[in-house]
Amino acid sequence: MFQMAHYMFLCSSKHLEYALELQHLRNDERAGERDLLRLNLDMYKIAINPRR
């Protein structure tokens, strides 16, 4: 049980890290980097939420 909770925490903290970086880049001119990070975040969401 603890291992699962810890895994979920790690997943959510990584998601938060991506989201914060995306927020930081939103006000930036580096559109290519922002788009790549958005793709990375989308792929991460898909990986941790498999279809049933």
Q: pLDDT tens digits for 5-44?
A: 655 665 677 777 877 777 776 666 667 777 888 888 888 8
**Residues 19, 9: Cα–Cα separation, whole Å:** 15
Q: Which pLDDT value is given to residue 43?
A: 87
Res 1 pLDDT > 60: no
Q: Which pLDDT value is given to residue 38?
A: 86
Task: Kindly list the domain boundaries of the chain, sorted by start residue.
Answer: 2-48
pTM of the model: 0.41
Tokens for 15, please give them: 């998601």
